[in-house]
Chains A and B, each alone.
Chain A
């Protein structure tokens, strides 16, 4: 059974860097079969894709966030991480991590973490 679990601070100060980690069990982040992604949802709002990372470490990001986002993978811990710099109140959201199955017919975000609320406030 695949499980993803987000972890990290629930409160970040404006202008600082938000850092979250997603721990994967029941699957390997180093498998060439998968990509791993981050998605966020402001309170009462819709979903926003943040970015994805391949097992190789290659990444692609939402153009509107690209200058502030870094996604990385730690195969030794079977985790992948999100860093979002220079945060403002607009970055307050529930942050989800999720898995995509790669292949001829990719399956996007079939497994999700339960989400973690990150508030930006001084």
Chain B
């Protein structure tokens, strides 16, 4: 099983600042099958990024993903008020998918 470790656990930032979230895998993720989701309280997760760097339909371009192998990053270039939420990464590169434990982006 591939273990995904997200860091930091919590990120305290102000609107307009840049957010950089990390997702590290215990072994290489096949074909960069790595996705990022945003979740707000009481809601289902929303797909932001798939294939490590491709934005999902309707996702603003302030969200970007990068990385390959075992190290992946989600960057929010300028935080908007609606971006304060929990973010999860998901690897789907083999037949045993796994999620990271999440990073909470909170208002400083």
Contacts and interface: CB of A to CB of B under 8 A. Distances in A.
Interface in A83-115: 96, 98, 100, 105-110, 112-115
Nearest to B1: A63
A62 to B, nearest CB: 7
Interface centre among A46, A109, A113 (most CB of B within 10 A): A109
Interface of B: 1, 33, 35, 37, 39, 43-47, 50-51, 54, 56-57, 88, 90, 92, 95-102
A49 B97 CA distance: 6
Given A49-B97, A49-B98, A108-B47, 4 more contacts: A49-B90, A63-B1, A105-B51, A115-B44
> Chain B binding site: helix, strand, loop or mixed by DSSP?
loop
Interface in A1-56: 46-49, 52
B5 to A, nearest CB: 12
B99 A46 contact: yes
A113 B45 CA distance: 10
Interface of A: 46-49, 52, 60, 62-64, 96, 98, 100, 105-110, 112-115
Contacts of A46: 88, 99-102
B86 to A, nearest CB: 9
